[in-house]
């Protein structure tokens, strides 16, 4: 059952998976009222944010069951603005909900009851709090900062250039390999930097070079001739990463680089990463590149085809 993408609805397919099998779940959920994936069982075209959140809480309840007790959930989600609701018959959703940095191809032009036009909906935090109420430990809001956001024609607020990655855990103690994602401190001398963590690092690749572990923070290159004087520190919670496209996918994909740290910190080598909204297969590709396994679910058969082709092309694997 590993290294397979199951075609079907997330809740239904998750119910077929065994308890406590996956190390972590890394996923990006369909956006609220932004896109019509053309399937009656799709998530995202609910009438209210509450209904949307309720459906996702049920799905992530099943994810919790499938995760090991020390498992984590890394959940990427962006926010949206309520629209004016004036564009009856408009095939886009621009007048209902405006989401920065995403193309809009959803169908329902009416505005959300109870919200004023131009209100930020707060979808990410609505979902985060609902998951916390459902028993998840809400551990961190990581900001995905985009250096190349979509331009917006707004002049009464800033251009939105971020989304969230929420880190949630099933238990209060959980697997989290902070050393695997420790970041080099640029342009500082270790002995003069109070923030330096004096911990032993595993061999890591940075800039194509492999550095061997060194308990004194200094890292020596493999050849042993030159020193890398960068110290390392605990990874920070703002992650800067350009957006990425995958040519065959007509929906938002997340960049491989964005989820590298989630998988490195959340799953040991040989472990299993779950993604119930697999889309174009980014989670699967990164998991395999990092010597982890994946279990995927995706509603649209054509997306499963796209993802499997991508996995074959990028990894030379036949799965």
Ligand X SMILES: C[S@@+](CC[C@H](N)C(=O)[O-])C[C@H]1O[C@@H](n2cnc3c(N)ncnc32)[C@H](O)[C@@H]1O
Shortest Cβ 285–ligand X spacing (Å): 9
Q: Could you give the angle at the alpha carbon of 21 between the alpha carbons of 19 and 26, nearest 5°?
A: 110
30 makes contact with ligand X (CB under 6 A): yes
By CB under 6 A, tell whether 199 contacts ligand X: no
Q: Does 60 bind ligand X (CB under 6 A)?
A: no
The piece of 45-53, 60-68, 200-208, 250-258 that touches ligand X (CB under 6 A) is 250-258
Burial code of 258-283, b = ≥16 C-beta within 10 A, e = fewer? bbbbbbbbbbeeebbbbbbbbbbbbb
Q: What is the dihedral of CA 41, 71, 139, 178, to 10 degrees?
A: -130
- Closest by Cα among 268, 303, 310 to 28: 303
Task: Name 165's bridge partners.
Answer: 76, 142
Any contact of residue 164 with ligand X (CB under 6 A)? Answer: no
Residue 41 makes contact with ligand X by CB under 6 A: yes
Residue length of the chain: 319
**Contacting range for ligand X; rule: CB under 6 A; set: 83-91, 153-161, 180-188, 244-252:** 244-252
Among 17, 43, 128, 219, interactor with ligand X by CB under 6 A: 43
Q: In angstroms, how far is CA 3 from the centroid of its own chain?
A: 19
- Residue from the set 10, 258, 263, 304 that interacts with ligand X by CB under 6 A: 10
128 vs 299 by CB, closer to ligand X = 299
If one asks whether residue 37 binds ligand X (CB under 6 A), the answer comes out as yes
Which of the residues 260 through 319 are near ligand X (CB under 6 A)? 277, 279-280, 282, 297-300, 303
Main-chain phi, psi angles of 130, to 5 degrees = -65, -40
**How many Å from the N-terminal Cα to the C-terminal Cα in the chain?**
11
- Nearer of residues 42 and 110 to ligand X, judged by Cβ: 42
Residue with nearest beta carbon to ligand X: 279
Name the minimum Å distance from CB 48 to ligand X.
Answer: 17
Report yes or no: 100 and 152 within 8 Å, Cβ to Cβ.
yes
Cβ distance to ligand X smaller for residue 33 or 280: 280
Q: Which is nearer to ligand X, 39 or 157 (CB)?
A: 39
CA 86 to CA 89: how far, in whole Å? 9
Question: Which of residues 254, 261, 264, 311 is near ligand X by CB under 6 A?
Answer: 254
Nearer to ligand X, 203 or 301 (CB): 301
* Residues contributing to the site for ligand X (CB under 6 A): 9-10, 28, 30, 37, 41-43, 249, 251-254, 277, 279-280, 282, 297-300, 303
């Amino acid at each position: 059952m590993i290294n397979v993408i199951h075609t079907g609805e997330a809740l239904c397919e998750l119910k077929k998976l065994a308890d406590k099998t996956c190390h972590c779940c890394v996923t990006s959920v369909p956006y609220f009222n932004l896109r019509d994936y053309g399937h009656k069982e799709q998530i995202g075209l609910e009438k209210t944010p509450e209904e949307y959140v309720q459906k996702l809480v049920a799905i992530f309840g099943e994810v919790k069951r499938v995760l090991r007790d020390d498992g984590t959930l890394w959940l990427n989600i962006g926010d949206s603005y309520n629209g004016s609701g004036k564009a009856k018959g408009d095939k886009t959703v621009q007048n209902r909900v405006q989401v920065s940095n995403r193309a809009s191809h959803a169908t329902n032009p009416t505005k959300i009851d109870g919200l004023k036009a131009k209100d930020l909906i707060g979808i990410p935090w609505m979902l985060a709090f609902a998951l916390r109420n459902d028993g998840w430990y809400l551990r961190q809001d990581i900001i995905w900062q985009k250096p190349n956001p979509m331009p917006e024609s707004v002049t009464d607020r800033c251009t939105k250039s971020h989304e969230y990655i929420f880190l949630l855990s099933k238990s209060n103690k959980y697997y989290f390999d902070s050393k695997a994602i420790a970041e080099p401190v640029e342009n500082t001398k270790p002995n003069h930097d109070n923030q330096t963590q004096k911990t032993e690092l595993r061999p890591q690749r940075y800039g194509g070079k492999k550095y061997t572990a060194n308990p004194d923070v200094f890292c020596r290159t493999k050849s042993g001739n030159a020193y890398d004087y960068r110290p390392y520190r605990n990874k920070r919670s703002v992650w800067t990463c350009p957006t990425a496209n995958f040519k065959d996918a007509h929906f938002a994909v997340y960049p491989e680089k964005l989820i590298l740290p989630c998988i490195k910190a959340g799953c040991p080598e040989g472990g299993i990463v779950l993604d119930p909204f697999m889309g174009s297969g980014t989670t699967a590709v990164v998991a395999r590149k990092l010597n982890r396994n994946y279990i995927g679910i995706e509603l649209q058969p054509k997306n499963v085809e796209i993802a499997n082709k991508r996995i074959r092309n990028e990894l030379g694997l036949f799965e």
